Amino acid sequence: MTDLSLSLERDIELSKHIEDLLVARNPRGMKDVQTALTPGYYFRAAQTLQGLTGTILIGTGFPVTDTFETDGPVGAIALYNALEELGAHPILVGGESFLSLTENEFRVHKLIEGDLSNAKQEAIKTLADLNPQAVISIERPGLSEQGGYFNMRGEDISTYCACFDHYLNEAKCSTIAIGDGGNEIGMGNIKQAISSLDITPSVTTCDELLIADVSNWGAYGILALLGMWANVDLLAKVDPIAILEYISERGSVDGVTRENNLTEDSFPPAYGHEIISNLRKLTKFI
């Protein structure tokens, strides 16, 4: 076996450890559907992003009435900052409720909320204008078979949603999606596996689906590998509490409790710190 083959084998084995770590708590059944994915999915997603220097679109922001939840933006901001450090040109994409409050600190592209009729053409035009090298979705609601959007409680939230699905459907570049419950963009990849979950599933697909107990943590899984390959401890620079405070000041709520506090799907930020610490151990930074 060549050195290259050995290195590839080690990286895929590391990816499997990351994949198991990120679904170990299993609050919404992601561990139960993990076997529907081909192992090495974090490796493949990170490999897609490695070395990119052009535009990368990062869609996030799951609407909760007139605001947005904490899960998604934390991981998106961490990924944005890391990709920028590595030489890429990330842009956050989402609805007005999230991006109108962050556009002074980040490059953003706003989607029109509640307008499904023009969403496909808007996506095609924006993709042509921005010419991204990759499109990433982190905890964005995905269209259901009924043609609308539903939250984890089964409530129709289409009125509040901006459509990001067509950015993945129409992209001429690689697409990556991260989800934690079955109703997010990308979950169409494992439609059969999630059919038993107590949700209205998304049917939107992507090139590489990543699952995690909390979608924010999925971003950390990507950064673990990108940082290891670049010999840069990217995760040491991620402070979940600081990002949670930043978005909380702008009205975010926990997606489970619907309260404006520093939690992710009801988990305290210490859990996110623990995930980061364990990922840094796996990649030999600590």
**Cβ neighbourhood burial of 266 (10 Å; 0-12, 13-18, 19+):** middle
Number of structural domains found in the chain: 1
Please provide the distance, in angstroms rounded to a whole number, between the alpha carbons at the two ends of the chain.
29
Helix count and strand count (H, E) for the chain: 10, 8
pLDDT in tens, 222-260: 999 999 999 999 999 999 999 999 999 999 999 999 999
Q: How far apart are CA 253 and CA 241, in angstroms?
A: 14
CB 48 within 8 A of CB 237: no
CA-closest candidate to residue 39, choices 162, 218, 208: 208
pLDDT at 6: 79
Q: How far apart are CA 209 and CA 204, in angstroms?
A: 11
Q: How far apart are CA 183 and CA 278, in angstroms?
A: 27
Range(s) of the domain holding residue 133: 3-282
Is the pLDDT at 5 greater than 80? The verdict is: no
pLDDT in tens, 54-108: 999 999 999 998 899 999 999 999 999 999 999 999 999 999 888 988 989 999 9
The DSSP annotation for 149-197 comes to: -B-TT--B-GGGPBP-HHHHHS-SSEEEEEESSSSBTTGGGGTTGGGGS
- Other beta carbons within 10 angstroms of residue 49's beta carbon come to 22
Q: Which residues pair with 58 in a beta bridge?
A: 92, 136
Q: Which residues pair with 63 in a beta bridge?
A: 68
**Three-class DSSP category at 197:** coil
Whether the predicted model's global pTM rises above the 0.95 cut = yes
Identify the CATH number of the domain in which residue 44 sits: 3.90.1640.20
User: Both tokens of residue 163?
Assistant: 């459509």
Q: Which residues pair with 60 in a beta bridge?
A: 138
Q: How far apart are CA 244 and CA 71, in angstroms?
A: 9
Residue 101 DSSP one-character state:
T
**Cβ neighbourhood burial of 7 (10 Å; 0-12, 13-18, 19+):** exposed
- What region, left, alpha or beta, does residue 182 occupy, with left being phi > 0 and alpha being psi -120 to 50 degrees? left
pLDDT in tens, 117-167: 899 999 999 999 999 999 999 999 999 999 999 999 999 999 889 999 999
